[in-house]
Structure 1
Amino acid sequence: MTEQEFIPNTYTYTLENGSFKWSSPSNIALVKYWGKKEDQIPENPSISFTLNDCKTITTLSFVKREVSDSFSFDVFLEGQRKDDFKPKIETFFKRIENYLPFLKAYHFTIETSNTFPHSSGIASSASGMSALALCLMSIENVLSDEIITDGFFIKKASFLARLGSGSACRSLEGALIVWGENKTIEESSDLFGVKFPFQVHPDFRNYQDTILLVDKGEKQVSSTVGHSLMHNHPFAQERFKQAHTNLSKLTEILQEGNLDEFVALVESEALTLHAMMMTSMPYFILMKPNTVEIINKIWSFRQETGSKVCFTLDAGANVHVLYPEKETDKVLKFIKNELVAYCQNGHYICDKIGNGAKQL
C-alpha cells in the first residue's frame, strides 16, 4: 500500500460529540529498530513481542466546533493536566491531518493512563500513540460513508500511530509484529506493522516477560534524539544490514523452536542497540550499574541450570527477562531470590505475550 491509499474521500456523516475508549499494549522488540528517515520511516526492519498487561488506556472525547486553522485539545495523564505533552501531540496531529481531515473540526479531550511507570523504558509512547490512533480511527469509522473493513481499520491505525511514535505501529496486534520492509516477510512495509505470517513453534507461544524496573525515572536521552544520532554514525550502515540478517534468522528460529539460537540473537540485539548509543557522537549510556549486574546474574543462572531465560533491553535501563511459559516457576523464583535486589524499590512487572489492542 501507499500513503495515498490512507487519504479518505469527503466525509458524508457528521458527529456533534462523543467519545471512544481503547486500550493498547506496549511491545518489546526482539530485533531492534534504531535510526529513521523522514516521515518516521525506519532505517531497518524490526520484530516485537506484543505485551499483555503493560498498556495505555485512552479515552478520546470530542465536541464539534467551528473549523479553525489550529488544533484544539487538552491532555490528561492519570487525571492530571499534562500541557507538556501537547507539543508532541500537536506534531502528531500535523503529520496525520492529511489522512484525518476532521481533526480541526473538533475540540478533543485526551484522557490517558498507563498500567506501568511513564518514561521508564517500557515504550509508553508506543502504547499511548497507538491507543490515540485507534480512538481517532473510531471517529473516522463513523464519519465515513465507505465501509472500513477491520483489516483496513487496523492497518491505517498502525500507519497513523507510526507517525506519532515509530514503535507504536507494532502495538495494535499480537503476538509477533514486523515493521519495516524485509525480503523474508512478503507483506512487510515501512508504513505500518504486519503480523508475523508464519506458524510459530509451541515453545514461543505464551512467552513470558518479567520487566525489572531498574530505573523508573525519565530517560537521560529521548528516543527521538537517539534515533537522530544514527544519521552520521560510523557503524550505521553495517547495523542496518545486520538487522535485516537477524530478522531473517529469527524468522527461522521462531518456526523451528531453537531456543538457544533465540537467546543468542535476542541478547546480541539488545547489546548492539546500546553499543550504537555508546558509539554515537555525542555518546551516552542508558544502562545503569544494576542493569549490568542483572545481565551477569542471568548469564550465570543460565550456565548453572540450563535454563532458556534471556534478557532484552529497550532504550533504557530496565531489563526485560524473557522465558518460555514452562519455566515460569523456576525463573520467577530466581528473579525473587537474586534479581529483585537490583530493582528500584524492589519493583518488577510480570507480563506475558498478548494479542493487541481492545476497544473498551
Structure 2
Amino acid sequence: MPNYADLKRITDVDKRKRIVRGLKALRAGINAEGGAIPPKTASDTLLLASWNLREFDSGKYRFRDVEPYHYIAEVINRFDIVAIQEVRKSLFPLQQLKRMLGSWWDFLVTDVTLGRSGNSERMAFFYDRRKVDFTGLAAELVLEEAIPAAGRQVQFARSPYVAGFRAGWAYFTLVTVHIYYGEGVPVDARRLAEITALGKTIASNAGDLSSANVYGPEDKPKRDNLLLLGDFNIFNRKDVTMEALTAAGFRVPDALQSIPGSNVTKDKHYDQIAYYKELRSMRPTGRAGVFDFYDCVYREDQEADYAADRQEKPGRSFRDWRTYQMSDHLPMWVEFQVDDSDAYLDELGA
C-alpha cells in the first residue's frame, strides 16, 4: 500500500478526514465485487496501465495539493507498471508520487519536448521494482523522414518514449506516446500522419527495439514483446486513425476492444494499448478496463465540499476544475500472464 504518513502532517482536520474518506472510497471501488482492477500477484501476472495525468503539474488552474496526490498514488499502486503522459517541466510531481508509493517504486522520464505543440511535456514510466526490472533500454523516438504539416516538415509533437523491462518470463519494450491533437475532429491530418508514421517506424525497426538479449532454444536472437500505449487522441476505434495502427501490425487485446472510452464521459477512445503482431511469454488474461475514480472521489455530489479550494479560479465549473486535480482521462489497464514455467517444463519433458 502507499505511504500514508503525510496524513498525520495535515493540520486541517476537516481536510484530513476528507482525504481519509476518499482513500477508503477508492480502495473500496478498486476492490469492488467482481474486481474493478484485479489484485496484484507476486510473480505470475503483470498489470500494465496507461494514464494521461492532465497538466501534471503545471499549476494552470491551481497546483495540486496533497489530496489528489494521495488519490493518484492509490490508483497507481494497484498496477505493476504505468505509462504516464502530460508530465510537465518540474520533476517534483514524480518525486512526490515516488515518495508516497514507497522506496520499491521507481520512474523513468524524458526531457521536455520543446515547441508550441510539445506543450513543454515529458512522458514517464512508473514501475514497481518488486515485480518489474528495467533492462537498460531508454530512448526517445525520432523519425527518419519528417511529417509534412502546414507547409513545413515536422517531427512528432511530443517525442515517443521507448523503454525496456522484464517481468516474470516476459521481456517487453514499451513505447508510450501523446499524439498531436490538433482540430477537435475525429480525423485531423497531422494526427493521422503521426500515428501512421509511428506505426510504420516501430514496425520496420521492431528488431532493433528489443529490450534485452533474448535467445531461443537454438541460440538465435529472438525479438521480445513490443507494445504501444498512451494517448493517441483516437476518437473512434473504427476510424482511419485506429486503422493506421492495425495496418502496421498492432493488435489491441480482445478484452480492451469492448470497454468504454477512457475520457471522463467515456465516449472517446483516446487511449490505447496494443502489441506488435504476437506476444511471447506474455498472454492477455482476458481482464482489462478503465477505472473511473470519479465514482469514488471528487464526485459531483461533493461539489460543496470543495468550494473553498476553488476560490482561486471561481469561474471554472466543478466538473472541469476536478480534472486539474485528478485528470480528464481515466487510467486504462490490461492484465497479462507472465509465468511460462509449465510450458518450459513441458518442453523439457517432451
TM-score (norm 1): 0.30
Which of the two has greater strand per residue? Answer: 2
TM-score (norm 2): 0.31
Which of the two has greater helix per residue? Answer: 1
